[in-house]
């Protein structure tokens, strides 16, 4: 198994983007985060700004959040009023994610990539998390937000990601069943996290699994 994709789901403040970038640099593979939105825009012809507005957020009613509408590989015709709906924007992102995993090794941040690629054997699914107070310290160290603002931003972002994930996958975002590797980033440094994921990738490549 030469080609491999790493998907990274991450709580806000758990250094997910930093770890993803460093891993991609170390492995000399592509890193995809918001670049996915541009690629989906190019593929669909839909304004990139619409993808940004819908990115890992739901513009749904209270009742829609309980629909748990699992992703299905389908696209709506440009002639339809639903062509620029959130669901169709998600479908185009999912199409890009599947195509990338098919053709190259890469790191993909968020966007339910672990679920979209769940049937592939050449994917390592990672979940990065940490206690709230530890993540708060990390956020305050890197942003001009006050503590109160940071707390609200963290709570809002994680809630949106959790709702987004539940709606499109029917799963609990935090469940370890969704992932191959779950790491508390407050217990080890960024570089150590990168090494752990890299070692796991190598073990999967070499087929050193066990019971």
Q: Please state the separation of Cα 34 from the chain's center in Å.
A: 10
Q: How far apart are CA 171 and CA 188, in angstroms?
A: 27
Which of 138, 112, 118, 121 has its CA nearest to residue 36?
112
Tens-place pLDDT, residues 16-42: 999 999 999 999 999 999 898 888 888
As a whole number, the mean pLDDT across the chain is 87
Locate the domains of the chain by residue range.
Answer: 5-206
What whole-number distance in Å separates Cα of residue 48 and Cα of residue 68?
26
Residue % of the chain over a pLDDT of 70: 84
The mean per-residue pLDDT over the stretch 139-151 comes to 95
Give the residue with greater pLDDT, 190 vs 86.
190
Q: In the β-sheet with 123-129, what is the strand arrangement from edge to edge?
A: 30-32, 106-109, 5-10, 123-129, 181-184
Enter the pTM of the model: 0.86
Asked if the 5-206 domain carries CATH number 3.40.50.720, the reply is no
**In angstroms, rounded to a whole number, what is the distance separating the alpha carbons of residues 119 and 121?**
7
Confidence of residue 77 (pLDDT cuts 50, 70, 90): very low
- Given a cut of 60, whether residue 70 has pLDDT beyond it is no
Cα torsion 8, 18, 86, 77: sign = negative
Alpha helices, DSSP H, located in the chain: 16-27, 35-44, 48-54, 86-103, 113-116, 132-142, 147-169, 190-206
Written as six digits, the tokens of 64 are 């829609």
């Amino acid at each position: 198994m030469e080609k491999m994709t790493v998907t990274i789901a991450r709580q806000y403040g758990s250094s997910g983007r930093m770890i993803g970038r460093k891993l991609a640099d170390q492995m000399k593979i592509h890193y995809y985060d918001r670049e996915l939105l541009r690629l989906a825009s190019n593929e669909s012809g839909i304004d990139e700004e619409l993808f940004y507005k819908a990115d890992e957020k739901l513009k749904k009613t209270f009742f829609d959040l309980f629909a748990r509408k699992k992703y299905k590989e389908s696209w709506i015709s440009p002639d339809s009023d639903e062509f620029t709906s959130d669901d169709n924007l998600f479908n185009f992102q999912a199409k890009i994610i599947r195509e990338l995993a098919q053709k190259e090794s890469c790191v993909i941040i968020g966007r339910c990539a672990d679920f979209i690629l769940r049937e592939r054997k050449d994917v390592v699914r990672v979940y990065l998390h940490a206690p709230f107070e530890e993540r708060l310290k990390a956020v305050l160290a890197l942003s001009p937000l006050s503590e109160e603002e940071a707390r609200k931003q963290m709570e809002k972002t994680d809630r949106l990601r959790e709702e987004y994930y539940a709606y499109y996958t029917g799963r609990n975002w935090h469940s370890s069943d969704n992932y191959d590797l779950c790491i508390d980033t407050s217990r080890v440094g960024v570089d150590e996290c990168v090494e752990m994921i890299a070692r796991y990738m190598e073990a999967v490549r070499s087929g050193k699994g066990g019971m």
